[in-house]
Chain A
Amino acid sequence: MSTQPGAQSGPQIRPAPVRKSIHVNAPPEVAFDVFTSGIGRWWPASHKIGPADLDRPIIEPRAGGRWYERDVDGTECEIGRVLVWDPPARLVLAWQLGLEWKYDPDLITEVEVTFMAEGDGTRVELEHRDLERMGAGAPAMREAIDAPGGWSGLLELYSQAAGQ
């Protein structure tokens, strides 16, 4: 059997970026500051990488800075790094956690956050993009599809929704 031209690169799914937009009743300076140096005040504590309890995530305030979590036992786990540091208007972070929720130095997905004055407050827009890169180095994850929240989970969710 001959190989199809271009078959080597294999199929690739390009999920659309995750986009969020929210109005915050705070000036851009405050919003930017709370998003970055205050990340420990809003980051969901349940979302952590290390085995120990989360102390807080930390974003170093400069381009090239680290983005990591510090756990209560002092362990530090990388999440990614700062790509663009442009307070109070714009922040681009590299999210370097793959499908298995593990840090991968070769994986870069971008999280861009912009802060625009809107009335007395700020319009905060977030885009998490290049999600297709998450699949690049990972083994085929059939189990992800069968995991809760994956394929089976979705069908279950669907049947529940349909049954209502």
Chain B
Amino acid sequence: MRALATFILTAGLSAANQADYYLREEIPLPPGEVMEIGSIALMPGKKLAVTTRRGDLWIATGAYEEDLSKVRWSKFAHGLHEPLGMFWKDDSLWLTQRPEVSRLHDRNGDGKADEFETISAGWGSRGDYHEYAFGSEPDRDGNVWVALCLTGSFTADADWRGWCVRVTPQGEMIPTCSGIRSPGGIGFNSEGDCFYTDNQGIWNGSSSLKWLKPGSFQGCPVGNKFHELAKLPAPPAVSDKSRILAERKKHPDFIPPAVIFPHARIGQSPTGIACDTSTGAFGPWRDQLYVAEQTHSQVQRVCLEKVNGIYQGAVFHFLEGFEAGLIPIRFDPQAGLLFAGGSNRGWGSRGSKPFTLERVRWTGRTPFEIKTMSARRDGFTLEFTSPVDPTSAGDPASYSMDAWTYIHQADYGSPEVDQATPKVTAATVSPDQLKVHLTIDGLVQGHVHHLKAPGVRSSSTAPLWHPEAFYTLNEIPR
């Protein structure tokens, strides 16, 4: 009877609305213009720069104001080749376009770019529509990291396709990682380590967030041959119809995906990456990564850790309902604003519009969520955003777990395979009620561990806003 009463009491609360925690607002766009957003940059003076897939660069004032009807746009440049990466540095906007990294100047100060400086054009293109180049902001050394999509997302018909390269401010191109297939975005965590998203497809059983450790191989061997161009050691020739864990045991340079985004469960096409470097301006997610999603028009949340020198972690659903598929996202830690833009052209997406530019802010109300999920020798430790109710959170029956992996193969994608059901045998609540250690029997190294926590309640009887997590257990702590 008490369980029923609790259930009835909380059933109403379980339909928690995203708007209680995060407010999404569309930023008005220049009327009549096709604004399929490919990149976003934050500029001094609270200006916002965006590029479109048609090659235009627009700058907005007023995107930080309360009243968005006062947003004003001016066109700074046009004729760019589908930039997918932009930032402001040294009084210029720098872009990563399909053929090059560029720096734009307005020499005569008339508000329009008049010099388009080519910083580096060191990679090749066959003229194929899928040969995208996603560029990061500068790393701690001032270098731009560029992830180069395969020709047709399938072959490597021009130099360095399937590789990530770093471009120095002087324009030198340094090949850095191999094994890339079809990137959707690239960015850094708070340690300054570089990550990118790769899409489900050949040699990618499911989409994932991958760590670009310099010198590493990311899994897809199609672009391996270009090592000869720079006299680098040959990347691994991985075996077909295998498993990532088996292949990386044979090939230590094969760095596994840090966080797999199980296909169709967490989106289908992850894109832009932004790190919450604020001290709580957007919720308690300090140092976590936000990852945009193009097909489902969402933003997911990722917590990362390093175990035995390998990045791994969990992905959670976070924000949804954007008006079109998202490509770039940009986080302003001072203002606590997440800017998001995108397009559905060519690869359909959820939402009512063909393109969008939006901003999200935190209402100040913290949702009851699993803040972090961290691997232990014998299970996982969950940290929550507010104290848990010890009875429900300390009951193993409030949790369930299943696990699986994917075939590492040349075929497009993979079904979930090697299913396992690790058992939660104990749930130990910490004295401050913010942590729960789950003792788990049957962890499987290399598997995605899918945790469901529907029975957990906060100390004020709220259920979790997002009760599921997907943890990629590349390494089990010793």
Q: Do A and B bind each other?
A: no
Chain A residues in contact with chain B, CB under 8 A? none
B contact set with A: CB distance below 8 Å? none
